[in-house]
Structure 1
Amino acid sequence: MNVLGIIASAVAALFITAVLAKGVHRTVLRSRPAPEGPGRGPRARKLRKLGGAALALGTGAVVAAAWALGPDGSAGTVGALLAGAGTVAALGLVHDLRPLPFALRLTVQAAAATLVAHLAGLSPAAALPAVLWIVLVTNAFALLDNSDGLLPAVAVVTAGGLFTCAAVDGRLVLGLFPAALAAGSVGLLLHSWHPARVHLGSTGALFTGFALASCGALIQFHAPQGRTAWAALPLLATVALADSALVLISRRRAGRPLVRGGGDHIAHRLRRLRVTVPGAAVVMVLWALVPVLAATLVYAGTLHPAFLLAVPLASGAAVAALLRVPVYAAAPRGAAARGTASRPTAFPPAARTAPGSAVPLGTATANPTVPPPTGRPSAGITADRR
């Protein structure tokens, strides 16, 4: 595998993913109109989630083709990544069609991570922390799929950092998957940027998160002894981990279920601060860019590892500040006594129904939304669907 092969693979991944996503969009437009309006019924909403399948197919096909055409002893790493990422993509597709229990999804992810560690030749001592890390980061990145274009945009930055670290070591084989994933995410962004015409769904979200986490684990395992990979590479997941920490802390404080979706992610809180949907994605990308640049510079040996301490400190301060942004409305007075509301909700009582609609925004919808401070429904901001 050489630089020209990487470039060709990236271009192919971008083109294939963009074409497939365009096909998904056309299928949505041809879907049977529902009472909610053309392209907005339950069937159309499921079809929109096939954008994630387009990303998985486009990226996976290109990586598999490059692996087959370049027999250079990369069977262990590339084959492991394809097997694991394909497994979680299939899991996500089933979950998009029929929701699966969280415990089952977590078990399949752990099995896929174990498969990656085994096929890549990791020792038992290295396999256990790698599996735990892959499962943690997979879900952290997957939870970022809560706003138009957010996860693909962050994935481009993160995958670029992974590719740079692999290239610094001269291991372009390990950089093949990140390069193809970054290009494929750009191709999907052409259709998932606000207002999104297709969505990642669980298929694309889990595929993206698992690929990023697995590539990081394998790059760290194969890093030379002189590299500070143990300190640099984990920072590539700073934004995803910060978002998950924010959600878990706020839900714990509010007494809400930890694994149930809600409008309390970073993007939702930025929306409360009157940041637009595209603006929230840009803010998150810039946030991700800082730790990625710091990590790659430290990994390359051009920046002292002590500078890495500033990244978690700054991110922790940002999480603490965002915790002060209200996202859960208190129950109306007397509601607890009447037994009509026992838990706080992420939807203010005055804005629980969209104008002209009798369907509550916080109930029984496939993609519940968090209204902005003006009370108008916010297009493009969707609550966590996992």
Structure 2
Amino acid sequence: MLYGIAAAATALLLSAFFAGVLRTPALRLGLTDRRRRRPLPLSGGTAVALATVLVAAGGDATGLLPLGSGVGRVVTAAGCVALLGLAADLRRLRWWVTPAGTAVAAGFVVPYEETGVAAGAAAVAWIAVVTAAFRGLDHADGLAGTVGAVGAFGVAACATAELMDGLAALLGVLAAALAGFLLHNWFPAQAGLGAAGALFTGFLLAASAVFVRAGQGIGAGASVLYALTAIACADAALVVLGRRLDRRTVTRGRPDHLGHRLRRLGLAPRAVPVLLGAGAAAGVLVAVCVHTGRLSPGAAWWVAAGVAALVLMLVRRPVTTVFRPRQRVASASPQVTAQLRVRSG
């Protein structure tokens, strides 16, 4: 227990340190968020991955925090996915490259001896989809880090119930690393997560959840896995449905994610991650209760109903490319403002 707390504290400090130190190299290398009006260095993803892998590998090598059989393979695969995400941050890759690479990595971590071939193949597809959906959450300051930390605590609780102490410690380290990153990512963000960190976090959460549920009932397992990632699923469903209704290409980026639409409703930037983090916590609570037998698998239908209501409420909200038009007009010169008024009249 004490070693786990020490490992989490170390991961938090390392992540916060790396995220700050790597900001300048990220700017010089052009490792920035292309969707922002100002360059936002994507040092957070490297910081989270480095802190998690270093602490987990160090604890396992010294015997102070042994990961257990198969968990080291999950960490290695997550590190490879992070490198793939780093390549996507540095240069534009075709849309199918990262999902395909994630699926290949997932194929090496699914315990087929416990799941069977058919369920194992479904688990690979689920890990790839959830990882891609989690990448989509990295569209608002503090959102991906908050939802990821909440999800990590949920998977850690499920692992603890199964006496998988090594896996629980790993997820605790991930949650702490994300908390350290949030010190730089809370609005207004000074560092971003990027594809490297989002893919690493999503993959580690999804693969660990599959590892915990392997060999148990398929119906209950699907309920737990869905409830653990309800917010990421809601964001992905909203994006896909909204773009299809607008007859737009699904793979082409737009400001039409959960955070974007909630901002259009008038929510403050800091309120978005708090609200969605609370929603993620509700889903995680249901997942843990189902996993431990305190609730029936049917409880996940309540989570699904909440997600469906949220998606249907927001899917027809108007989407624009600008969130602060008043600030733009106010910052313009009097001559430009007068011209805009004349044109609008």
TM-score (norm 1): 0.77
- Are 1:133 and 2:148 matched, yes or no? no
Residue 309, structure 1, aligned to residue 301, structure 2: yes
Decide whether aligned partners of structure 1 residues 306 and 199 sit closer, same or farther in structure 2, where only a CA change above 3 A counts.
same
1:45 aligned onto 2:39? yes
How far apart in 2 are the matches of 1:279 and 1:263? 18
CA distance in 2 between partners of 1:310 and 1:121 (Å): 29
Kept after mapping to 2: 8 A contact 1:76/1:119? no
Instruction: Name the structure 2 match of 1:245.
Output: 237
Matched, 1:175 2:168: yes
SS in 1 for 2:8: helix
Residue deviations 1:318-368 (CA, integer Å, cap 9, x gap) = 1101113111xxxxxxxxxxxxxxxxxx437x95995568xxxxxxxxxxx
**Preserved CA contact (<8 Å) 2:209 2:225:** yes
Does residue 325 of the first structure (1) align with residue 317 of the second (2)?
yes
Q: Which residue of 1 aligns with 2:252?
A: 260
Shift of 1:116: 1.6
Partner of 1:150 in structure 2?
143
Whether 1:188 and 2:186 are equivalent positions in the alignment is: no
Contact 2:152 2:174 in 1 (8 A): yes
What residue in structure 2 maps to residue 295 of structure 1?
Answer: 287
Aligned to 2:18: 20
Aligned 8 A contact 2:12 2:180 in 1: yes
Distance in 1 between residues matched to 2:113 and 2:119, nearest whole Å? 11
CA distance in 2, matches of 1:28, 1:168: 40
Please give the residue correspondences for 1:1-386 in structure 2 after superposition, counting only pairs within 5 Å: 3-25=1-23, 45=39, 48-70=41-63, 74=67, 76-117=69-110, 123-221=116-214, 228-327=220-319, 346-347=320-321, 354-355=328-329
The alpha carbon displacement at 1:119 in A equals 9.5
Deviations 1:61-117 (A, max 9, x none): 111112222399855422211121111100011111111111222221111111222
Distance 1:71 1:120 in 2: 28
SS in 1 for 2:270: helix
Conserved? CA contact 1:85–1:207, under 8 Å: yes
Contact 1:157 1:292 in 2 (8 A): yes
Q: Give distance in 1, aligned partners of 2:139 and 2:312.
A: 20
**2: CA distance, partners of 1:13 / 1:222:** 31
Q: CA deviation at 1:262?
A: 0.7
Unpaired runs of at least 5, structure 2: 333-345
Judge conservation of contact 1:80–1:120 (CA < 8 Å) in 2: no
Quick one: which amino acid aligns to residue 347 of structure 1?
T
Aligned-partner Cα distance in 2 for 1:174–1:268: 34
Task: Give distance in 1, aligned partners of 2:257 and 2:142.
Answer: 15
Check conservation: 1:77, 1:174, Cα contact below 8 A: no
Q: How many residues align?
A: 326
CA contact (8 A) 1:49 1:198 kept: yes
The one-letter amino acid of 1:22's match is G
Contact kept, 8 Å, 2:111 with 2:214, in 1: the verdict is no
Q: Aligned in 2, Cα 1:251/1:230: closer, same or farther, shift over 3 Å?
A: closer
- What is the identity, as a one-letter code, of the residue corresponding to 2:2? L
Question: CA-to-partner distance for each residue in 1:240-259, whole Å, 9 max, x for gaps?
Answer: 00110001000001011101
Contact 2:99 2:129 (8 Å CA) reproduced: no
- Gap change, CA 1:285 and 1:23, over 3 Å in 2: same
8 Å contact from structure 1 (residues 52, 200) kept in 2: yes
Distance in structure 1 (CA, Å) of the matches to 2:159 and 2:83: 27
Cα separation, partners in 2 of 1:146 and 1:182, compared to 1, 3 Å = same
Q: What is the one-letter code of the residue matched to 1:266?
A: L
Whether the 8 Å CA contact 1:17–1:58 is kept in 2: the answer is: yes
CA distance in 2, matches of 1:76, 1:222: 15
CA distance in 1, matches of 2:64, 2:118: 29
**Contact 1:137-1:240 within 8 A present in 2 as well:** yes
Q: CA deviation at 1:311?
A: 1.0
RMSD: 3.0
Scaled by the length of structure 2, the TM-score of the pair is 0.86
CA distance in 2, matches of 1:200, 1:226: 33
Identity of aligned residues (%): 36
Q: Which has the higher helix share?
A: 2
Separation in 2, partners of 1:7, 1:154? 21
How many angstroms apart in 2 are the aligned matches of 1:86 and 1:226? 28
Contact 2:82-2:196 within 8 A present in 1 as well: yes
Shift of 1:192: 0.5
Change (3 A) 1:298 1:270: same
